[in-house]
Structure 1
């Protein structure tokens, strides 16, 4: 496999991993007010595929931090003391994670595009 192919494969795998991360971040944000919801995180793993290292999203893990106790005696899920368990999603963390994933995605997309342009330029030089 050529260096161009290695570079394209590495960029493409990172794009897929960041897309998976963004999906879970958006799911966390949409469920921030869902009682009992636990934040999902996705670790990245480096694997060897066809003789080269690529990155992929690992198994989805649930955040084990305690759920917030919310006082609302009128809520249907409230216990005798008037509390129920909310989610453990922190919107500031999710927004920061989304930004980081977006920037990483853009950087990998730029690397993918530059590799493609270099490959095209090489082909043009070889044709001459």
Structure 2
């Protein structure tokens, strides 16, 4: 693997973690939302990732470089909680409203993990840049 490939891998990791952070932000923003129906309630979302690897002949089947790519965003299938709030304008005939299935504690853990992964990829890029710079300085 050349040093230029390291930039591709770290860059794709940064893009993936950025998607993860945006998903966490969306989940946290909708954590306290309610709906009149279980179908209309906000469901927690999570990005799905896949590894991209070069084949033995040096050609990646889909992206042209090693790294990670985002396959899509999946919705949680966890149960939607209901609360009895007859005074809420969104309450159904029984007085229930349906909350999101976002767990704020899990989302905060995901946010910390994604942030640290992003920072690690930045460090990989900086270290690679420094190694390349030192290599160029040897030729002076």
Runs of at least 4 residues of structure 1 off by over 4 A?
none
Please point out which of 47, 59, 73 is paired with 2:72. Answer: 59
Q: Which has the higher helix share?
A: 1
Q: TM-score, normalised by structure 1?
A: 0.92
Where in structure 2 are the equivalents of 1:75-90 lying within 5 Å? 75-90=88-103
Please point out which of 25, 37, 47 is paired with 1:42. Answer: 47
Q: Deviations over 1:74-109 (max 9, x none)?
A: 111212221111100010000000000001001111
Q: What RMSD, in angstroms, separates the aligned Cα atoms of the two structures?
A: 1.2
* Counterpart in the other structure of 2:128: 115
* Counterpart in the other structure of 2:17: 18
Q: TM-score, normalised by structure 2?
A: 0.85
> Unaligned 5+ residue runs, structure 1?
none
Give distance in 2, aligned partners of 1:104 and 1:70.
Answer: 37
Q: How many residues align?
A: 125
Give distance in 1, aligned partners of 2:24 and 2:70.
Answer: 13
> Unaligned 5+ residue runs, structure 2?
35-40, 53-59
* Counterpart in the other structure of 2:109: 96
* Counterpart in the other structure of 2:27: 28
User: What SS does the aligned partner of 2:87 have?
Assistant: coil
Give distance in 2, aligned partners of 1:80 and 1:105.
Answer: 47
